[in-house]
Structure 1
């Protein structure tokens, strides 16, 4: 970035900072949301809750479907980064 461009875009620096911070928060949230180990623990928690009688069959199936979809997406994202 040249001196003139830097001076002309200086008023936008706070906006760029906020955008950067928001992107970092989003990236961290997605890493946690798509963490395979966390998803597997959540599946185990669902199974434990079902075994304890806290969930019905339909609730367990719905939660399993959601968690397995996230796990599938996590695997796709990880493969995409490896290629």
Structure 2
């Protein structure tokens, strides 16, 4: 049955390669879109900036809230 299927689907071979690649690209994009690592890195950098006096407390809290919302959104989307 597998051989017969492959023979019948042979005319579609030029389409199956690009479709497979498109599926892999979509999978990779979705993984990167929902990955919390970049947001966690930005939170770490934000904390460092506050500790070193590069930003004030109100700016820190505003940016932290935005990043925590983004982190929650990414976690819910997984």
Partners of 2:43 and 2:19 in 1: CA distance: 34
Change (3 A) 1:43 1:8: same
> Normalized against structure 1, the TM-score is what?
0.53
Partners of 1:70 and 1:11 in 2: CA distance: 45
Where structure 1 has 5 or more consecutive residues not aligned to the other structure, the ranges are 79-83
Query: Which has the greater radius of gyration?
Result: 2
SS of 2:5 mapped into structure 1:
helix
1:19 Cα deviation from its structure 2 partner? 1.0
Give the root-mean-square deviation of aligned CA atoms. 3.1
Between the two structures, name the one with larger relative contact order (CA 8 Å, sep ≥ 6). 2
Aligned length: 69
Change (3 A) 1:44 1:15: same
Where structure 2 has 5 or more consecutive residues not aligned to the other structure, the ranges are none
Aligned ranges for residues 1-83 of structure 1 at < 5 Å? 1-42=1-42, 65=66, 68=68, 70-78=70-78
Answer yes or no: is the 8 Å Cα contact 1:34–1:74 preserved in 2: yes
> Normalized against structure 2, the TM-score is what?
0.55
